[in-house]
Amino acid sequence: MTTASRTLKTFIYLIALLCSLLTSSLAVCIQTGASTADRSLWNTHGCWQEFYLWQYRAYDLRSSDWNGRGWKDACNVNLEFPKHWNAAYLVTYGLTDNLSHQFHGTTDYRQTGQAASSNFHKSIFHAPTDDTTIFGSYSPSSGRVSTSCLLYNPASANANPASRAGDFMHEGWHAWFKKYKFNNGSVGGHRAKQGACSVNGCDYFYFHGIGAYAFGAMYQNNGTATRFHSPNQVQVEFLCDVVDDAKGWVSRSVRDAAQADANQRAAQRFINGPGYYCGSPRPW
């Protein structure tokens, strides 16, 4: 092969690689609609500018991650950024904070999902991902919490405000594990399939009664199963609080989606499962 031929072959390869990278970087979630639950929650606030201008800072959303995903079109509920802040609205305002009935309070869930360093985790930031092999992920090295198209694509069962917010809790709790230097397993921060768990990414459910944690104290642990939470557990407890203790303006479609997600997760993801089903008597 001549030098000219090798140079031409290299040039063609580089052009193909560049095209591949550009195609990958421009891939986005389905942006043609929103779920019934997303729209019903959206209709309670319309497009509250003061809230989303606060929310992107509170969750540390960055323009480089959200461009083309509603960063400049925050009132278009079909796009990812509006759906992200729609879920944050549910976390911020959606619960009654009934101390005698909820697992945890709004302050616990906000501090778990939001970006700022606190007793709940060191600083994190939120970004989207087109990886549909996961619902979400947490990067211990960067603090990046990624939420996938499965939480945004309108046809996906988990593309609703409660499930999306539940993933904020799940991934935020992985950051809690890092802060307190606990090892929850080597399968994406979980354990291999075993016991009653039927997926390859299992947790224990550490049972506790209502009132065991004062609001604001969910971060506390004593290093034993008597005072501890796993990521899937925090997610299920949040979702069940949405089902049973959401404010009256939170629609049935949001609650039903939360219940379906929580109960499927409870059935599939706990080694000592099925954990707690939404609608079961609260464990006083």
- pLDDT tens for 168-187 read 999 999 999 999 999 999 99
Sequence-separated (6 or more) residues with CB below 8 Å from residue 250: 41, 44, 90, 94, 242
17 has pLDDT over 60: no
- What is the residue-averaged pLDDT of the chain? 92
3-state secondary structure of 187: strand
- What gap in Å lies between CA 11 and CA 165, rounded to an integer? 46
Burial class (CB in 10 A: 0-12, 13-18, 19+), 179: middle
Burial class (CB in 10 A: 0-12, 13-18, 19+), 37: buried
Could you tell me the pLDDT band of residue 2, with boundaries at 50, 70 and 90? low
- Which residues on adjacent β-strands are paired with residue 95? 246
Q: pTM for this structure?
A: 0.90
The token duo for 29 is 């979630």
- What gap in Å lies between CA 39 and CA 159, rounded to an integer? 11
- What gap in Å lies between CA 215 and CA 251, rounded to an integer? 25
Task: Tell me which of 22-36, 53-67, 94-108, 256-270 is least confident.
Answer: 22-36
What pLDDT shows up at residue 19?
Answer: 39
The token duo for 139 is 């990067």
Look up residue 149 and give its DSSP letter.
G
What pLDDT shows up at residue 281?
Answer: 86
Strand blocks (E) in the chain = 125-129, 136-138, 144-148
- What gap in Å lies between CA 156 and CA 247, rounded to an integer? 25
What pLDDT shows up at residue 74?
Answer: 98
56 has pLDDT over 50: yes
